[in-house]
Amino acid sequence: MGRLNALVLDVSPLRKDRDFRLLWSGQLISGLGRQVTVIALPYQLYVLTHSAIAIGALALVQLGPLLAFSLFGGAVADAVDRRRLLLLTQSGLALTSAALALLAMQAQPSIWALYFVAFVAATISSVDQPARASAVPRLVPRERLPLAIALNQAAFQAAAVVGPALGGILIATLGLAAAYGLDAVTFAASLLVLAMMAPIPPLHGVARPGVKAVAEGLRFARRMPVILSTFVVDLDAMIFGMPAALFPVLAVDVFHNGAAGVGLMASAAAVGALVGALLTGWVGRVRYEGRAVILAVAVWGVAIALFGLCTFSFPLALVFLAIAGGADVLSAVFRSTILQLSTPDQLRGRMTALHVLVVTGGPRLGDIESTVVAALTSATFSVVSGGVMTLVGLAWVARRFPQLAAYDAHAMRPGAELPATVDLASEA
243 phi/psi in degrees, rounded to 5: -100, 15
* pLDDT in the model for residue 210: 66
Distance between CA 256 and CA 313 in Å, rounded? 11
Task: Please check whether the two domains, 9-143+153-202 and 215-409, share a CATH topology.
Answer: yes
Q: Is residue 313 packed enough to be buried (19+ CB in 10 Å), middle (13-18) or exposed (0-12)?
A: exposed
Which of 74, 25, 29 shows the shortest CA–CA distance to 357? Answer: 74
Which of 427, 391, 353 shows the shortest CA–CA distance to 68? Answer: 353
For 14-51, give one letter per residue: b (16+ CB within 10 A) or e: beebebbbbbbbbbbbbbbbbbbbbbbbbbbbeeeeee
Supply the CATH classification number for the domain 9-143+153-202. 1.20.1250.20
Query: Are 304 and 386 in contact, with CB atoms under 8 Å apart?
Result: yes
pLDDT digit string (tens) for 345-394? 888 888 888 888 888 888 878 888 888 888 898 889 999 999 999 999 99
Question: Angle CA(21)–CA(25)–CA(27) in degrees, nearest 5?
Answer: 120
Distance between CA 118 and CA 112 in Å, rounded? 10
CATH of 215-409 among 1.25.40.10, 1.20.1250.20, 1.10.10.10, 3.40.50.10420: 1.20.1250.20
* pLDDT in the model for residue 276: 87
Distance between CA 83 and CA 190 in Å, rounded? 11
Q: Following CA atoms 389, 394, 396, 398 in sequence, which dihedral angle do they give, to the nearest 10 degrees?
A: -170
Distance of CA 98 to the CA centre of its chain: 24
Which of 41, 25, 24, 32 shows the shortest CA–CA distance to 183? Answer: 32
* pLDDT in the model for residue 306: 96
* pLDDT in the model for residue 408: 86
* pLDDT in the model for residue 415: 43
Amino acid code (one letter) for 124: I
Cβ atoms within 10 A of the Cβ of 409, count? Answer: 21
Which of 220, 246, 155 shows the shortest CA–CA distance to 193? Answer: 155
Given 3-state DSSP classes, what are the helix, strand and coil percentages for the chain, each rounded to the nearest 5? 85, 0, 15
pLDDT < 70 stretches in the chain: 1-7, 52, 204-210, 259, 411-428
Instruction: Name the residue ranges covered by the structural domains of the chain.
Output: 9-143+153-202, 215-409
Distance between CA 213 and CA 316 in Å, rounded? 49
What stretches of 80-144 show up as alpha helix (H) in DSSP? 82-104, 111-139
pLDDT digit string (tens) for 193-204? 999 999 998 876
Distance between CA 75 and CA 424 in Å, rounded? 14
- Calculate the alpha carbon distances from 164 to 29, 118, 265, 266 in Å: 14, 18, 14, 11
* pLDDT in the model for residue 198: 94
* pLDDT in the model for residue 52: 63
Amino acid code (one letter) for 95: L
> What single DSSP character describes residue 287?
S
pTM: 0.79
pLDDT digit string (tens) for 135-163? 999 999 988 888 898 899 888 888 888 88
* pLDDT in the model for residue 426: 37
118 phi/psi in degrees, rounded to 5: -65, -40
